[in-house]
Amino acid sequence: MIPSRFQGRLRLPMIAAPMFLVSNPDLVVASCKAGIVGTLPSLNQRTAAGFDDWLKEIRERLGDDAVPYGVQFPVHKTNTRLAEDLATTIRHKVPLLITSLGITREVTDAIHAYGGLVFHDAISVRHARKALEANVDGIIAVCGGAGGHAGTYNPFAFLGELKPLMGPNRTLLVGGCIGDGYSMAGAIAAGADMVYVGTRMLATKESGAMDANKRLVVESDITDVVYSDQVDGVGGNWLKSTIPPPTAALGKDDVDTSSMLSDLKRWRDIWSAGQGVGSIKDTPTTAELIARMEGEFVAATHRLRGVESARAPAEATA
């Protein structure tokens, strides 16, 4: 289900995914004003004090009645800012926290105490089960083809396994190659409550990505994207032309979020993108993009209704 605090406030059932070194207050504010949930990683600010300043800025620019926004950070022992960023999130009563690389009941209880929501990125059923045991409000199925750190599961298969686990009051989201209203409608028809959109949001005017990065996304197609765990130790999709050969190998267990802070070249110079880049042809404002996606979403739902009206009655096929 779509959370009650989101219902009646969203133009589309969509979250602008938090992208490392890309999502910023401008993109969050533009997303919320366009009618979707805007989010950013806390680690996009180099300091905890800077993260606090960003949340103050977002709150001031949006006001109290805007579409909810969210923040993301890893709940993992190597995240040296976990305690500080969690405290800042609680102090600002951020409506949505997106967690990754782990989750604990202490974190969800702390967010729930002020009425906030917790969604968790999952690339496997095992990760999803652990998050549900920690009482998260939603699972984000990060599927094959998604930009950034991603899993390898087909979205239809992953949604099929997750739906029976969710229960009536939790939110099931899916991410991976959703770049227009048609793919959004397909995900909803397949059982997702909401969608998670990253790469398409990277190529917007408000995005914090470098202009050269945006141009490369617009110019690329699926053949330009490679899945690898050799960039920072976690499997993800990358624009292969930005990966210098050879890339130093890291083991899958060598996850170190502190390296993201100290060695930003991995994301600044080696750019991530999802397999859906081939459908991205321009760099509109966020408002223009969401208006376009809304039209596509409506057209897709009309198409489904057309298919339904053309079906033979059940008794005629019995």
**Structural domains of the chain, with CATH:** 14-217+272-317 (3.20.20.70)
Mean pLDDT of all residues belonging to the chain:
92
Q: Say yes or no to pLDDT of 267 above 70.
A: no
pLDDT of residue 124: 96
pTM of the model: 0.91
Chain center to CA of 121:
8
97 SS3 class: strand
pLDDT of residue 269: 85
User: Using one digit for the tens of pLDDT, what is the confidence trace for 145-191?
Assistant: 999 999 999 999 999 999 999 988 999 999 999 999 999 999 999 99
pLDDT of residue 259: 46
Range of lowest pLDDT (173-177, 197-201, 311-315): 311-315
Instruction: Give 16-81 as a DSSP string.
Output: E---TTT--HHHHHHHHHHTSEEEEEGGGSSSHHHHHHHHHHHHHHH-SSSPPEEEEEE-STT-TT
Where in 91-245 does DSSP place strands (E)? 96-100, 117-122, 138-142, 148-149, 171-175, 194-197, 225-228, 236-239
Helices (H) and strands (E) in the chain, counts: 13, 11
Q: Say yes or no to pLDDT of 287 above 60.
A: yes
Q: Say yes or no to pLDDT of 16 above 90.
A: yes
* Cα distance between residue 314 and residue 7, in whole Å: 34
User: Using one digit for the tens of pLDDT, what is the confidence trace for 101-114?
Assistant: 999 999 999 999 99
